[in-house]
Structure 1
Amino acid sequence: MKIFKSILLIGLTLLLFNCHADDDQSKENRTPSAFVLTEGAATNIGIPFNWTASIDPDDDDVVYAVYLNNNLLIEDLNALTYVIEYSLFVFGENTILVIASDSSGGATEQELVVNLIS
């Protein structure tokens, strides 16, 4: 019985010394990859904006948000395109911002400036 207690004590001691403080910490989140934002051909409804897929190195799902002149138009978008209606644009410069974000708070953004003339 004394040998069993000794082996148990040695085993528990080894187990305690092999535990590290960083074992309980999760990995640092990495942001989704860069993507390319482009302006499509104008339609009778508006102007489509397209982008390539942003890939998350942590395999998190990536969703997109689209802004026009700092105003949120849509969020949690899974598509790689969005049509902005003409009535939302102002004459002159308009800034389109697309943000790709993952479920862990990482984000990557691309901006495009278009000039709307009458």
Structure 2
Amino acid sequence: MKKIKTLMLLCLTVLLFNCNADDDQAQENNNPSAFTLTEGVATTDGITFNWTASLDADNQDVTYAIYLNGDLIIEDLNTLSYIIEYNLFVDGENTILVVASDGVGGTSEQQIVVNLLS
């Protein structure tokens, strides 16, 4: 009986020392930093869009997704520019949205509007 009490006391002690105050608090994820989106050069293929790098305070890799008029064009980009082909645009106003993501729920976004005339 004494062995069981000693064993239980030992187990309880190990459990208490393994508990950490940080275990109860989930680490808060920061959003990637703001960035600047600009319209670049119009080529024969389409229009180039450029943006500055978005940095993540938690040192997570930042990737980018591009939306045109609410439709996802491409995601998981590691580059800071992308050419959107002319055939994807509509006549008139087009909204380009670039979303920076850290992969664990943090995002930052910028959008611009371009007008295309036929």
Where on the TM-score scale, by shorter chain, does this alignment land: which range?
A: 0.7 to 0.9
Q: Which amino acid aligns with 2:29?
A: N
Match of 2:113 in 1: 113
> 1:23 deviation in Å?
1.6
Match of 2:98 in 1: 98
Map Cα deviations across residues 75-102 of structure 1 (whole Å, 9 max, x no partner).
0010100100000000100000000000
Identity of aligned residues (%): 67
Aligned residues: 108
TM-score (structure 2 length as normaliser):
0.82
Runs of 4+ in 1 over 6 A off after TM superposition: none
Question: Unaligned regions of 5+ residues in structure 1, if any?
Answer: 1-8
> 1:16 deviation in Å?
4.5
Aligned equivalents of 2:22 and 2:56: distance in 1?
Answer: 24
Pairwise CA RMSD of aligned residues? 2.3
- Could you say what secondary structure the match of 1:96 adopts? strand
Match of 1:63 in 2: 63
Aligned equivalents of 1:56 and 1:46: distance in 2?
Answer: 30
Question: Unaligned regions of 5+ residues in structure 2, if any?
Answer: 1-9
Aligned equivalents of 2:74 and 2:81: distance in 1?
Answer: 11
Aligned equivalents of 2:47 and 2:81: distance in 1?
Answer: 10
> 1:26 deviation in Å?
3.3
Match of 1:23 in 2: 22
Aligned equivalents of 1:103 and 1:70: distance in 2?
Answer: 20
Aligned equivalents of 1:38 and 1:103: distance in 2?
Answer: 24
TM-score (structure 1 length as normaliser):
0.82
